[in-house]
Amino acid sequence: MDNNREQWGSKLGFTLASVGAMIGIGAIWKMPYIASKTGGGAFFIAFLILTFTVVLPILIGEYIVGRSSNSDAIRAYKKLVPNGHWDLVGKLGILGSILVFAIYSIVGGWVLAYIIKVTTGSVSHIDQAQLSLQFSLTSANTATAIAGTGIFILLTILIVSLGVRVGLERTSKFMVPALFILLVILTIRGLTLPNAVTGLQLFLKPDFSAINSKSLLLILGQSFFSLSVGISLMVTYGSYLNKSINIPKTSAFITLLNFFISILVAIAIFPVLYSFGVKPNDGPAILFVVLPSIFNQLPFGSVFFIAFLLMFLIAILSSSFSLLETAVAPFITKFPSRALATWVIGGLVFLIAIPATLSFGIWHQYTIFGRTIFEAIDYVSTNIIFPLGALFTAIFVGFRLPRQLLFDEFTQSSRLGRKVFMLWLLLLKYVAPIAIILIFLSATGIINF
């Protein structure tokens, strides 16, 4: 055990940091689109069921791996099972964290650029076609894109270099409530628009005819991505947990809070789109083209659009803190200080992000298997590393760790009995791996449902 390892100062700090790690790009520009595509209210019902039966068991497993080993994402697996090469799961998670952080940093750079644009009025009072051109010019501008990415990474480095309590926990206690307040304000504003309530009713009305094997796989994939399961991020956060926190109960609460905020995001966005007769889009277009065109038509639209951008910036920053922390944690002891390790890893991410940033501009012609560099990094991390990491974690926890260790960690500081434990273990060992394999085979095109 590493007795000098940092720990969370409170259950609240850990909870808010975990929620902040989960709320990111997926919740804001993917969730409304997928929800509208897969039956509205039916999506949220299926999402909740699949999250609690498939994804939550693995989330609990990752926390257990972290706390029982008291180690970073690489050493944790080796410490618990010295024989074999299970540390490769942690290394895969580190790679995934770095790649996802690179993607987040690029998007974060765009958000910073747009905050300036909205403040100066350069994207105000122009139509959707001009906004689309404006986004293309912004993302293709080498200086703007690289500078924005660099500033975003710099902000993340500054927080992570301060450590768990002073950096991650203290910042999360401010940023996550701020995110929630901005969401509530935007939701109230959206619901006051003409026909917004009707649109919300249509959106939330369950359409179970839209639920089929393809939509279930889409929903399950969204659930994995939204809870950041599969890249050892929660192994890292779990390693800072003390024994006074019950992992299953806290994990369930974090999952519910994440679900609630995700619904709020959808409610904040969808009525606004419906009020103006716009269909939800997947990807950056909804944030940088569609929503600005709508806000431009509203009284004080620029104020509300800045609020939306700030909400999005907080969401991706809080996620980026956890991604960089996961990548930095294994190397802290190899450098004279945490700060130096953070700067080195952050600098590495910046170098990786540059080619992906340029794929919207001067390097757009360079492709990897038909995808731009940005798209290739996004595809590998989301469709390969996430599901593989989650699958190997489920197998590792379910079949390689001693039953007594799992029971002790599962029931620590609670009255949860053996029946609840056995149900969790059943879901982890059998239900979750089968679901992940189906997602992976479908995402890679090996099978079609």
The residues near 181 (Cβ < 8 Å, ≥ 6 apart) are none
pLDDT by residue for the chain (449 residues), tens only, comes to 455 678 888 888 888 888 888 877 767 777 777 888 888 889 889 999 999 999 999 999 999 999 999 999 999 999 999 988 999 999 999 999 999 999 999 999 999 999 998 888 888 777 778 888 888 888 999 999 999 999 999 999 999 999 988 888 889 898 888 888 888 888 888 888 888 888 888 778 898 988 887 788 788 878 888 888 889 999 999 999 988 899 999 999 999 988 888 888 888 888 877 777 777 666 677 778 877 888 887 788 888 888 888 888 888 898 999 999 999 999 998 999 999 999 999 999 999 999 999 999 999 898 888 899 998 998 888 878 888 999 999 999 999 999 999 999 999 888 888 899 999 999 999 999 998 888 777 766 676 66
Q: Tell me, rounded to whole angstroms, the distance of Cα 196 from its chain centroid.
A: 28
The span from the CA of 89 to the CA of 73, in Å, is: 8
Give the pLDDT of residue 1: 46
Assigned CATH class of 11-443: mainly alpha
Give the pLDDT of residue 409: 94
Give the pLDDT of residue 192: 83
Please say whether the beta carbons of 226 and 258 come within 8 A. Answer: yes
Q: Domain ranges in the chain?
A: 11-443
Which of helix, strand or coil describes residue 40? strand
The span from the CA of 322 to the CA of 7, in Å, is: 15
The span from the CA of 315 to the CA of 264, in Å, is: 13
What's the residue count for the chain?
Answer: 449
pLDDT digits (tens, 9 = 90+) for 351-370: 999 999 999 999 989 888 88
C-alpha dist (Å) from residue 428 to 71, 93, 419: 22, 19, 14
Please say whether the beta carbons of 67 and 236 come within 8 A. Answer: no
Give the pLDDT of residue 330: 93
| pTM value surpassing 0.85 | yes
